[in-house]
Structure 1
Amino acid sequence: MKIKNIILAALALSFWNSDIHAQNISTPKSHFGFSIGDDYQLANYRQMESYFLKVAKESNRVLIQEAGITEEGRKQYLLVISSPENLANVEKYRKISQSLGRAEGLTDQEARKLAGEGKPIVWIDGGMHSNEMVGSHQLIETFYLLASSQSAEIQNYLDKVVVLMWHVNPDGQDLLADWYMQYPDANKRNMSIPRLYQKYVGHDNNRDFYMFNMKEASNLAKVMYIDWLPQIVYNHHQTSPAGTVVAGPPYRDPFNYAYDPLLVTGIDGVGFAMINRLNEENKPGYARMDQSTFSTWWNGGLRTAPYFHNMIGILTETTGNPTPSEIKLVPERLIPRNGLPNPITPQKWHFRQSIDYSVSMNMGILDYAARNGDKLLYNFYKMGRNSIERGNADYWTASPKYIEAMKEAYEADTKAKKETEESSSKSKFASIPSVYFESVLRRPENRDPRVYILSADQADFGTAIKFVNALIKSGVYAYQATADFQHNGKRYPKNSLIVKANQAFRPQVIDMFEAQDHPHDTQYEGGPPIRPYDAAGWTLAMQMGVDYDRFYEDVEGPFQKLPYGEMILAEKNVLPNSKGGYLINAKANDAFWVVNQLLSNGTKVYRDQGSKDFYVDAAMRDRLQKAISNSGLRVQVATKKPTKLTALKPLKIGLFDHYGGSMPSGWTRWILEQYGFEYTCFYPQDIDNGAIDKYDMLLFIGQGIPDRNDKVTKFRQPDTNLVPEEYRYLLGQVSKEKSIPALKNYVEKGGKILTVGASSELVYHFDLPVTDPLVVEGKDGRSNPLSSAEYYIPTSILQASLDVSLAENYGLDPNINIVFNNSPVFKLENKQDLYAIGSFQTEKPLLSGWAHGQQYLKGGSIGLVALLGKGKLFAFGPEITNRAQSHGTFKLLFNQLYN
């Protein structure tokens, strides 16, 4: 389905009158009834929306455009702010930014000319994490300042810069602000909301910016990567390190080697402008570099994803809350250092101070852009041009594995006395002979790929289309074959997809197809690892399980270049008549959506125990045709009805959640809805009072079961007296004393439980003959987890082997890519009532990311099935539903959801 075109078509200037000179702009206080930053006062999104619309009519500096609908149906707007003269020509400046960002067909001379004619585009957002109200409320104050101020400084910024403002999460703003303001007594106001503040994903809304599952993420991507291409993206957040006010750029290592060097130094330049502005205004407490936890390695966040698009992404975390707080005393942070040049003393802190800091940093960025506009625009082009040139030629990216390979080759030769050490130094930066640069790093097989082909005849081409559509949403362009073609002796059918690396957003292309090689980042040599900011490895093509071929030279063929931003639609299927019925390809995830549509209207669907595909009788042709109409799903005509058929029956599914909301559970809700599974959520109290008996299967995704050594789970529990009666059914913990026996009784009576990740602790509560291979016996005789210095695998992609003869694994391949985050692993002996579904077969299962001590995984099972009484327990260690990105393992969930 094509995304609605939200380009500001000619940007008709209907909301302003250029003849107005003395404008009367409504103040925030006149509209909201309080000053922005007043203690104990919050505005909801409804109020913000009406204010933005009002000021857009009052001010000749503002354009406002509807830019999409949220998951809960609210409107998102793009606010465009600049001088009236710039707004009259804003389409020109938007197109210049597009042209320079895509860097296609321009000479350096033409790019410099455009950079001189253009205006830098600066993006400022807020409101992503709705309990971080500094971010949303600084939008109001900054918007008013830019729309109304007559100061020479502001007018200079507006003359030289085009500002884009964006509220990231309208739904959560209404939820949080209404919740907080419902208490008449200001001292009782709190943010302990009962559910996630963005439907399905909560805080993980900042983990969706290469996948774009959520409508809000897709809306943003259309504006940022297709329509406008800003040079600076400023993403406001809240909560700084203890003893500081702000954490901001420059950030700590490691930065991702996929970036252009101009990107990294560009971040530094903007960061220095921000901290200088605060210091000029006597606003201390800005932490950076080693005093901040934020790095530039990871893709997927609103601030970090722009890096892979040559955009300077800025994140700040600013302390503050509408309820007054304090800057705590951290003695080590009282002495100035490079990471904290201007420490702040302990003190009471008010919401208004946080707003002031945020506005100052906005002004620091606008000042930088106003002074360096032509450089920002030209360097944007230069980075894109560099990417195109790298994609057009042989290019080698240095990453940690190649550095280690060079050193190992030199050490081996030295040991064999083939070389003499050039330096006696044993320091970390000792030199070695230059010959190892060419002989290791510049080997032909170590080149970066230039072309990727995703064949249309792969088993799950529908998921391959979803993958390429995610690339297209991010501004990457792709090709589709208009006829069959051959390359290097291999035939590719019509509709195959081709992605080339010779484009401006090459870093995004490489990052989505190739493995991340995370540096071995430790506190000291041989010491504990330093936790990555988020994931260490995430390669989307691997997560989604799509098949693709790499080529190291250009590939030509009957290729049609797809328009920027337009989604690929699956080819329509027309079913022929059949006397033997139809087999639906069970290797395709979309098969489960089709099956569920058929089951919901009373159609009988079977699983063929021979092919493992789904089967529908010939008489159901019209219903099947309707169900597959736009799916592109492969359906095979059966010559005769299979003899080994098992009828499918949808289960009554209960999905565990708790007060405040579980993000893994929320992502699973979204997955189930996308594929047509019906479910209901249940909560801790339902386990204890027997309400779970109405379900055929219970899903525990992520946290939901106490740790084996704990008595209860550790879900945040607010003061019950502050929770309205209608939400109290959500409260409670899962206990070892009462809940675990209830769950075991549920299974023994015939129920099924499926656990993923941390909830797989249920295996040990049920006293199954299973051991943990990542636990060792200490000198005191007690079992202890391996230390992080021995074993540490933050979110990365590993490869495991499956027993595909098992019904649990139908439709999957023997080797599977799994998302692993220090996940549970099991050791068991296969028995009739207890068996493994797959395991790690090698000492090096890592595909993408970082896996320190991965050899400990060999022989460990990634999941198991236990038969208990009349029921079953399915336990999966890895993140098989990871943020609704790991399509390659969805079938490990889906297969179990039928009777």
Structure 2
Amino acid sequence: MKSKYLLCGLITFLFFNRIQSQNDYYFPEDVNFNENIPSPAEFLGYEIGEWHTRHARLVSYMEKLAELSPNAQIQTIGYTHEKRPQIILTISSEENLQNLENIRQDHLSHANPENSPGDVEQMPVIVQLGYNVHGNEPSSSEVSMLVAYYLLAAEDAKVDDYLENGVFHIEPALNPDGRDRHTTWVNSNKGNPPVADNWDREHNESWPSGRTNHYWFDLNRDWLPLTQVESKNRVAFYHKWLPNMVTDYHEMGSSSTYFFEPTKKYGSENPIVPRYNYDTLNSIFAKYHQEALDEIGSLYFTGERYDNSYPGYGSTYPDLHGALGIVYEQASSRGHVQNTGTEDITFPFSIRNHLRTSLATIQATIDNRELLLNWQRKFFKDIRDKGLKEKKIHVYGNEKDPGLTKMFTQLLLDHQIKVYQLQDNITAGGREYKTGSAYAVPEAQPQNLMVKTVFDNVTSFADSVFYDTSAWSMALAYGISNAEVNSGRIDLGAGLSEEDIKTNVDTPAKSDYAYLVDWSQFKAASALYYLLNNEVNVKTAFTPFSIETNKGEKEFGYGTLMISVADQSLSPEKLYQLIKKASEKAGVKIASVPSGRSALGIDLGSPEFKSVELPKVVMLTGNGTSGYEAGEIWFMMDTYVGMPITKVDRSDFKRMPLNDYDVLIMVSGSYDDLDKDRIDSWVKNGGTLITQRTASEWAIKNEIVQAELKEQEKEKDSLLRMNYVKADKYYGSRAIGGSFYKADLDITHPLGFGYNDRELSIYKNSSVFMKPGKNPFNKVAVFTDDPYLSGYIHPENLEMIKNSAAILVEQKGRGNVIMFSDNPNFRAMMLETYKLFVNAIFFGQMIF
């Protein structure tokens, strides 16, 4: 039977390559192409689908098209972490390209209801064709070349109409780094003839796979948090154009068929997107996709699954901007040809399906050009008017941490949300928001839906099963103080620009005695690492105090860093230069003090100041561990701390010199084959073990610690029967897809240093529940009795969360085990809990 499938795959592959030409197989019948424009096969030297095309060759082909055709322009919108260019090939008529900037400006008038936009009858529709956001879902990047070739070389009056009435922005690879990782793998493991057996090495990438980018992030979840450079570049381009149609091409399991929208009605749709988007526009485009796949006999399904609710998807973000975003899923060959159990799926086959829906999308967009343009205009006017009627304004700010406020403000500006200065101080929600450190965001603006997305907590849902997270409040994620006020209570000042928030931190004054760093500043850890790495002796305060500084008397809280001038092997001048550099690099304020005598609390010579040592950190990675979680830690330590950490494959653990390290990080994963006795001994000898999610569960179950898990009561035998068809919904509703909960944080504990408020918002997407235990001092953070903040949660799970431990510490000999029930670095957007993790790294060895 296996031989039969392999032979079938081989015949399909050879038939494609030797008998059918590229154009005959991929494109509709009777399409003639301009011989002066090279096909992808002619340029690359192989048929599309015969090999996976490296990103550099994709770029080169697009550059060649722009060179040869007057209907194409190419631009680089930025570079990835690994310095690959992110390119956009823009295709339209010669006249449109010559008038491109005017077209862009006219189109942006849709988002400004106060202007008088031109007549849509004369306006081209704007289309953004995005491909391959997951690097190991590669067929769509090959499609991008075929689409570009078709638009530029097809000699057809229909295509001329496309170019006259549309501007097409083609992004051939949304994730160039991940794509090349996957491309290298499958090409280097390709057999000749190709192997269809799904156990073959070609179809089973090594960890972490090409799905993710350099830092192992899923870029299709990053349109909202914008943590990755690729996303920032892409969203900046998006807002430069505000397209009417955006495609989001993916692949799914090899045993499936093809999916296009609509997704599951109500349950998988974003609750604030107007119904017209889903009920009308989606239905119109679905007919075109149906006809395209029917024509070539490809199977497909719609309306059953896939999520359109999370705003960070490439197919959902456009829906919040008066556009239509559509997700497409093709069964993947995960290589060149793969057996699915019933038939062989080939790379060319998957490419052809995506090509046909791409062409159908282009046809649908042009046919419905005026409809789409009028809808976008109406969309922005309606939501702005709705905001005016609701009269809501969000105020926010963190006086203690201007760096965090700046980062949050930058996120708003990146999403083109209008932010304003406060004219006067205002008290709201029990907090005072002061001019200079707080800002206002009215809902009466074109980005009304994005304002709601960032600030609102979602607590009601049409369904109980989620493909991804069910909560996305960035205000909760950042832990930024905010409140909602009526617009009648507040006068708005000038609108903020990026220049307004690019303020430099004052240069620290030179001191002959000591310097102090308020640990509540977001980037304080970056300054600490820089100083420790340059052999500066630093201490941290275990008790608050007030003291006279060069700028008057100031209060300093738990975790404040103190650098004594006398307690150094460096000269005072050399120390001062390092202090200035640390302040400049990290963007943190560093205070100078003339005396060690405090006005209140401990003096600077108190034993309550304890020395901080530079820890050597190692993190286990590789097969069996969560690449997402490991990548988040890697990224945040690189980006926000500037501190290198060692990443070791868990298969090398046996030979790794564990005693060379002070801190061992274990993310979610499978560790049953690890030498737990070795870890236990290392901790007792002074090591700090940091675990999160299922790694914490592993530590508890393997008795590395004495903590206990809180578990659901097992269901007893029951006469209850339910229809089998309801099983997915029943069990899906009990999964914790991702939501926010309130915890009480001990801000006097070293892990709580730098927090000024005991109330903490924690993002939970795991079913790990820890009992608080008996030790009253190691319960660093405990979920409250009424913890629910935002997102879907089944009542049974909510009961499990209540009063469970979010963070526990257990002392073992001279070391500590620090356990997080959840992921404090989730998607690098959880800046509210990021400091907890940093504290664990720097202060974990100081817990007693």
Matched with 1:462 is 403
Q: Is 1:862 the counterpart of 2:806 in the alignment?
A: yes
Q: Percent identity?
A: 20
Quote the Cα distance in structure 1 between the aligned partners of 2:715 and 2:459. Answer: 33
Cα distance between partner residues in 2 of 1:367 and 1:789: 38
Deviations 1:250-292 (A, max 9, x none): 44432222112333235414532433332552433221112xx
**Cα distance in 2, alignment partners of residues 287 and 663 from structure 1:** 29
Of 635, 648, 657, the match for 1:670: 635
Q: Does 1:604 align with 2:609?
A: no
Q: Are the structure 2 counterparts of residues 772 and 791 from structure 1 closer, same or farther at C-alpha, using a change threshold of 3 Å? A: farther
**Which residue is equivalent to 1:595?**
528
Q: Note the C-alpha offset of 1:820.
A: 0.3
* Residue-by-residue CA offset, 1:68-105 (whole Å, 9 max, x unaligned): 011101111111011212212222221122111x2241
Aligned to 2:742: 799
> Offset at 1:571?
4.0
Q: Aligned partners of 2:103, 2:591: CA distance in 1, in Å?
A: 52
* Structure 1 counterpart of 2:456: 514
Query: Deviation string for 1:177-211 (max 9, x for gaps)?
Result: 12222246343644514445344443612111111
In 1, Cα distance between equivalents of 2:834 and 2:286: 45
Q: List per-residue Cα deviations over 1:848-899 (Å, max 9, x = no partner).
A: 4435321232221112111112221110002211010100101111112124
Aligned length: 750
In the alignment, the residues of structure 1 paired with residue 95 and residue 585 of structure 2 have an alpha-carbon distance, to the nearest angstrom, of: 47
Aligned residue for 1:651, secondary structure, equals coil
- Deviation, structure 1 residue 587: 1.4
Over 3 Å counting, the alpha-carbon distance change for 1:141 and 1:567 in structure 2 is: farther
Is contact 2:395-2:433 (8 Å) kept?
no
- Taking the TM superposition and a 5 Å limit, the aligned residue runs for 1:209-608 are 209-225=223-239, 227-239=240-252, 242-254=255-267, 255-279=269-293, 281-290=295-304, 293-321=305-333, 322-325=335-338, 347-394=343-390, 450-455=392-397, 458-481=399-422, 485-486=425-426, 492-494=434-436, 496-519=438-461, 521=463, 529-530=464-465, 532-553=466-487, 557=491, 559-563=493-497, 568-578=501-511, 580-608=513-541
Give TM-score scaled by structure 1 length.
0.79
Instruction: Please name the residue that 2:701 is paired with.
Output: 764
Residues 243, 320 of structure 1: alpha-carbon distance in 2 compared, 3 angstrom cutoff: closer
Residue 165 of structure 1 aligns with which residue? 170
Partner of 1:882: 826
Q: CA deviation at 1:515?
A: 0.5
Matched, 1:147 2:183: no
- In terms of mean alpha carbon deviation, does 261-270 or 792-801 score higher? 261-270
CA distance in 2, matches of 1:48, 1:495: 47
Counterparts in 2 of 1:548 and 1:579: CA distance versus 1, 3 Å? farther
1:97 partnered with 2:97 = no
In structure 2, how many angstroms separate the alpha carbons of the residues matched to 1:360 and 1:184?
A: 26
Residues 249 and 316, structure 1, Cα contact 8 Å, conserved in 2 = no
| Counterpart residue number, 1:626 | 581
Q: Report the equivalent of 1:402.
A: none
Check whether the contact 1:469–1:567 (CA below 8 A) recurs between aligned residues.
Answer: no
Render the CA deviation track for 1:202-232: whole Å, top value 9, x for unaligned.
361211111111111111011002x111011
How many Å separate the matches in 1 of 2:771 and 2:493?
Answer: 50
Q: Kindly indicate whether the alpha-carbon contact (under 8 Å) linking 2:132 and 2:175 is maintained by their aligned counterparts in 1.
A: yes
User: Of the candidates 628, 653, 657, which is equivalent to residue 691 of structure 1?
Assistant: 657
Question: Is the CA contact 2:458–2:791 (under 8 Å) kept in the aligned structure 1?
Answer: yes
| Aligned equivalents of 2:833, 2:371: Cα separation in 1 | 45
Task: Report the secondary structure of 2:736's partner residue.
Answer: coil
Q: Which residue of 2 aligns with 1:815?
A: 759
- The residue type paired with residue 668 of structure 1 is I
The change in CA–CA distance for 1:517 and 1:256 in structure 2 (over 3 A counts) is: farther
Q: Secondary structure at the match of 2:234?
A: helix
CA distance in 2, matches of 1:274, 1:534: 28
Distance 1:849 1:668, change over 3 A: same
Counterpart CA distance in 2 for 1:99 and 1:554 is 28
1:202 equivalenced with 2:216 (yes/no): yes
Amino acid at match of 2:140: G
In structure 2, the residue matched to 1:701 is: 667
Give the match for residue 29 of structure 2: none
CA deviation vs aligned residue, 1:583-615 (integer Å, no higher than 9, x gap)? 212112211111112222222221022222112
After the TM superposition, which of the residue ranges 653-662 and 572-581 deviates more from structure 2? Answer: 572-581
User: Which moves more between the two structures, 755-764 or 609-618?
Assistant: 609-618
Structure 1 distance, partners of 2:298, 2:500, is 47
Measure how far apart 1:327 and its partner are: 6.0
Partners of 1:65 and 1:77 within 8 A in 2: yes
Matched to 1:308, the amino acid is L
Q: Quick one: distance in 2 between partners of 1:169 and 1:864?
A: 38
Q: CA deviation at 1:688?
A: 2.0
2:561 is the counterpart of 1:614: yes
Unaligned runs of 5+ in 2: 1-32, 196-200, 545-557, 566-571, 597-603, 718-729
- The residue aligned with 2:191 is 185
Asked if the contact 2:49–2:351 (Cα under 8 Å) also holds between the matched residues in 1, the reply is: yes
Please, what TM-score do these two structures have when normalized by structure 2?
A: 0.83
Q: SS of the residue aligned with 1:842?
A: strand
**Equivalents in 2 of 1:814, 1:486: separation in Å?**
23
Corresponding residue SS for 1:289: coil
Structure 2 equivalent of residue 783 of structure 1: none
Q: Which moved more, 1:743-752 or 1:538-547?
A: 743-752
Distance 1:46 1:790, change over 3 A: closer
SS in structure 1 opposite 2:613? coil
1:124 to 124, 129, 135: 129
Shift of residue 300, structure 1, vs aligned partner: 1.1
Shift of 1:798: 0.5
SS at match of 2:142: helix
| Aligned counterpart for 1:49 among listed residues 59, 70, 82 | 59
- 1:577 Cα deviation from its structure 2 partner: 4.5
- Which of the residues 17, 26, 34 maps onto 2:46? 34
Is 1:837–2:780 an aligned residue pair? yes
What's 2:614 paired with? Answer: 650
Give the SS at the match of 1:286: coil
CA spacing shift, 1:668–1:203, aligned 2, 3 Å: closer
